[in-house]
Amino acid sequence: MNIGLYFGTFNPVHNGHTNIAKYIISNTKIDKILFVLTPQNPIKSKCFVEASIRLRMLNLALEGLDGIYVSDIELNMKGPNYTYKTISRLKDIYKEDKLILIIGEDNLASFTKWKNYEYILSEFQIYVYPRNGANKKYIIKSKNIVHLDSCLYDISSTQIREKISNKIIPKNLLAPKVFEFIENNNIY
Protein backbone atom coordinates (compact mmCIF):
# COMPACT_ATOMS: atom_id res chain seq x y z
CA MET A 1 0.00 0.00 0.00
CA ASN A 2 1.17 3.56 -0.71
CA ILE A 3 0.67 5.79 2.32
CA GLY A 4 0.88 9.57 2.09
CA LEU A 5 2.16 11.41 5.16
CA TYR A 6 0.78 14.92 5.50
CA PHE A 7 2.53 16.62 8.42
CA GLY A 8 1.37 19.86 10.01
CA THR A 9 0.36 21.76 13.11
CA PHE A 10 -3.09 22.14 11.53
CA ASN A 11 -3.79 25.28 13.53
CA PRO A 12 -6.59 25.01 12.42
CA VAL A 13 -7.12 22.32 9.81
CA HIS A 14 -9.01 23.87 6.90
CA ASN A 15 -10.69 22.95 3.63
CA GLY A 16 -7.46 23.53 1.69
CA HIS A 17 -5.81 20.72 3.67
CA THR A 18 -8.68 18.31 3.15
CA ASN A 19 -9.19 19.22 -0.53
CA ILE A 20 -5.50 18.56 -1.25
CA ALA A 21 -5.76 15.18 0.50
CA LYS A 22 -8.91 14.27 -1.48
CA TYR A 23 -7.18 15.30 -4.73
CA ILE A 24 -4.15 13.14 -3.92
CA ILE A 25 -6.28 10.09 -3.05
CA SER A 26 -8.23 10.47 -6.32
CA ASN A 27 -5.38 11.37 -8.68
CA THR A 28 -2.19 9.65 -7.54
CA LYS A 29 -1.00 6.18 -6.58
CA ILE A 30 -1.50 6.97 -2.86
CA ASP A 31 -4.04 4.62 -1.28
CA LYS A 32 -4.25 6.17 2.17
CA ILE A 33 -3.23 9.48 3.78
CA LEU A 34 -2.23 10.04 7.39
CA PHE A 35 -2.54 13.60 8.67
CA VAL A 36 0.36 13.61 11.15
CA LEU A 37 -0.32 16.20 13.84
CA THR A 38 2.84 18.01 14.90
CA PRO A 39 2.63 19.40 18.45
CA GLN A 40 5.24 22.09 17.65
CA ASN A 41 7.04 22.74 14.40
CA PRO A 42 10.74 23.29 15.26
CA ILE A 43 11.10 25.89 12.47
CA LYS A 44 7.97 27.96 13.16
CA SER A 45 6.98 30.12 16.10
CA LYS A 46 5.14 28.67 19.08
CA CYS A 47 1.71 27.19 18.51
CA PHE A 48 -0.67 28.64 21.10
CA VAL A 49 -3.50 26.15 20.72
CA GLU A 50 -3.03 22.89 22.61
CA ALA A 51 -2.24 19.85 20.50
CA SER A 52 -5.22 18.01 22.04
CA ILE A 53 -7.58 20.71 20.72
CA ARG A 54 -6.00 20.60 17.26
CA LEU A 55 -6.29 16.81 17.34
CA ARG A 56 -10.00 17.12 18.08
CA MET A 57 -10.43 19.52 15.15
CA LEU A 58 -8.52 17.15 12.85
CA ASN A 59 -10.76 14.25 13.83
CA LEU A 60 -13.83 16.38 13.14
CA ALA A 61 -12.51 17.55 9.74
CA LEU A 62 -11.53 14.08 8.53
CA GLU A 63 -14.62 12.26 9.78
CA GLY A 64 -16.16 10.29 6.92
CA LEU A 65 -13.39 10.97 4.39
CA ASP A 66 -12.45 7.72 2.67
CA GLY A 67 -8.79 6.76 2.96
CA ILE A 68 -7.86 9.82 5.04
CA TYR A 69 -6.94 9.37 8.71
CA VAL A 70 -5.39 11.14 11.70
CA SER A 71 -2.08 10.10 13.23
CA ASP A 72 -1.17 11.29 16.71
CA ILE A 73 2.22 9.54 16.68
CA GLU A 74 4.15 12.76 17.36
CA LEU A 75 2.08 13.48 20.46
CA ASN A 76 3.68 10.40 22.02
CA MET A 77 7.25 11.17 20.91
CA LYS A 78 9.82 13.23 22.74
CA GLY A 79 10.34 16.63 21.08
CA PRO A 80 11.55 18.41 19.17
CA ASN A 81 9.45 16.77 16.46
CA TYR A 82 11.65 16.42 13.43
CA THR A 83 10.09 14.87 10.35
CA TYR A 84 13.00 12.49 9.82
CA LYS A 85 12.46 10.97 13.30
CA THR A 86 8.73 10.51 12.82
CA ILE A 87 8.98 9.17 9.30
CA SER A 88 11.61 6.66 10.49
CA ARG A 89 9.29 5.49 13.24
CA LEU A 90 6.40 5.21 10.77
CA LYS A 91 8.66 3.23 8.42
CA ASP A 92 9.16 0.71 11.27
CA ILE A 93 5.39 0.49 11.81
CA TYR A 94 4.43 0.25 8.12
CA LYS A 95 7.22 -2.12 7.04
CA GLU A 96 5.33 -3.53 4.07
CA ASP A 97 4.10 -0.17 2.76
CA LYS A 98 5.65 2.65 0.76
CA LEU A 99 5.60 5.98 2.60
CA ILE A 100 5.33 9.20 0.59
CA LEU A 101 5.77 12.63 2.15
CA ILE A 102 3.25 15.31 1.13
CA ILE A 103 4.40 18.95 1.38
CA GLY A 104 3.55 22.34 -0.06
CA GLU A 105 5.84 24.30 -2.37
CA ASP A 106 6.55 26.71 0.48
CA ASN A 107 8.01 23.81 2.48
CA LEU A 108 10.05 22.63 -0.50
CA ALA A 109 11.58 26.10 -0.74
CA SER A 110 12.86 25.74 2.86
CA PHE A 111 13.46 21.98 2.75
CA THR A 112 17.23 22.29 3.10
CA LYS A 113 16.64 23.81 6.56
CA TRP A 114 14.93 20.61 7.78
CA LYS A 115 16.99 18.43 10.09
CA ASN A 116 18.48 15.49 8.12
CA TYR A 117 16.60 16.49 4.95
CA GLU A 118 19.12 14.48 2.89
CA TYR A 119 17.93 11.27 4.55
CA ILE A 120 14.27 12.08 3.78
CA LEU A 121 15.11 12.98 0.18
CA SER A 122 17.09 9.80 -0.42
CA GLU A 123 14.69 7.37 1.29
CA PHE A 124 11.23 8.71 0.45
CA GLN A 125 9.30 10.07 -2.47
CA ILE A 126 7.94 13.58 -1.90
CA TYR A 127 4.73 14.87 -3.45
CA VAL A 128 4.65 18.67 -3.66
CA TYR A 129 1.40 20.59 -4.05
CA PRO A 130 1.27 24.21 -5.30
CA ARG A 131 1.16 27.10 -2.83
CA ASN A 132 0.48 30.73 -3.66
CA GLY A 133 3.51 32.95 -3.19
CA ALA A 134 5.94 30.03 -2.90
CA ASN A 135 9.46 30.58 -4.18
CA LYS A 136 9.63 28.65 -7.47
CA LYS A 137 13.44 28.69 -7.56
CA TYR A 138 14.09 25.52 -5.61
CA ILE A 139 17.54 24.78 -4.36
CA ILE A 140 17.04 21.03 -4.60
CA LYS A 141 16.16 18.82 -7.50
CA SER A 142 15.61 15.09 -7.14
CA LYS A 143 14.00 12.16 -8.91
CA ASN A 144 12.12 11.59 -5.63
CA ILE A 145 10.29 14.93 -5.88
CA VAL A 146 6.97 14.84 -7.75
CA HIS A 147 5.18 18.12 -8.43
CA LEU A 148 1.42 17.68 -8.35
CA ASP A 149 -0.84 19.41 -10.82
CA SER A 150 -3.52 20.06 -8.23
CA CYS A 151 -5.67 23.13 -7.74
CA LEU A 152 -4.20 26.04 -5.88
CA TYR A 153 -5.99 26.54 -2.57
CA ASP A 154 -5.25 30.07 -1.49
CA ILE A 155 -6.00 29.39 2.19
CA SER A 156 -3.68 29.34 5.17
CA SER A 157 -4.23 28.62 8.83
CA THR A 158 -2.63 31.99 9.62
CA GLN A 159 -5.24 33.80 7.49
CA ILE A 160 -8.04 31.89 9.20
CA ARG A 161 -6.75 32.76 12.70
CA GLU A 162 -6.47 36.42 11.67
CA LYS A 163 -10.02 36.44 10.29
CA ILE A 164 -11.40 34.93 13.49
CA SER A 165 -9.48 37.38 15.70
CA ASN A 166 -10.91 40.23 13.57
CA LYS A 167 -14.45 38.85 14.02
CA ILE A 168 -14.66 37.80 10.37
CA ILE A 169 -16.40 34.44 10.09
CA PRO A 170 -14.46 32.09 7.75
CA LYS A 171 -17.31 29.56 7.61
CA ASN A 172 -16.62 28.56 3.99
CA LEU A 173 -12.93 27.80 4.73
CA LEU A 174 -13.54 25.19 7.44
CA ALA A 175 -15.44 21.93 7.74
CA PRO A 176 -18.80 22.75 9.40
CA LYS A 177 -17.99 20.66 12.49
CA VAL A 178 -14.59 22.37 12.86
CA PHE A 179 -16.17 25.81 12.52
CA GLU A 180 -18.78 24.91 15.12
CA PHE A 181 -16.11 23.54 17.48
CA ILE A 182 -14.01 26.74 17.15
CA GLU A 183 -17.06 28.93 17.69
CA ASN A 184 -18.45 26.95 20.64
CA ASN A 185 -15.10 26.80 22.40
CA ASN A 186 -14.00 30.36 21.62
CA ILE A 187 -10.74 29.26 20.00
CA TYR A 188 -8.57 31.93 18.35
CA 73 to the chain's CA centroid = 14
Record the pTM: 0.92
The pLDDT tens digits of the residues spanning 39-52 come to: 987 666 666 789 99
- Tell me what pLDDT residue 42 has: 67
Note down pLDDT in tens along the chain; length 188 residues.
999 999 999 999 999 999 999 999 999 999 999 999 999 876 666 667 899 999 999 999 999 999 999 999 999 999 889 999 999 999 999 999 999 999 998 889 889 999 999 999 999 999 999 876 656 666 678 899 999 988 777 788 989 999 998 988 888 999 999 999 999 999 98
- Tell me what pLDDT residue 84 has: 97
The pLDDT tens digits of the residues spanning 10-48 come to: 999 999 999 999 999 999 999 999 999 999 876 666 667
Distances (CA, A) of 79 to 73, 85, 86, 111, 139: 12, 10, 10, 19, 28
Distances (CA, A) of 118 to 103, 121, 129, 169: 15, 5, 20, 41
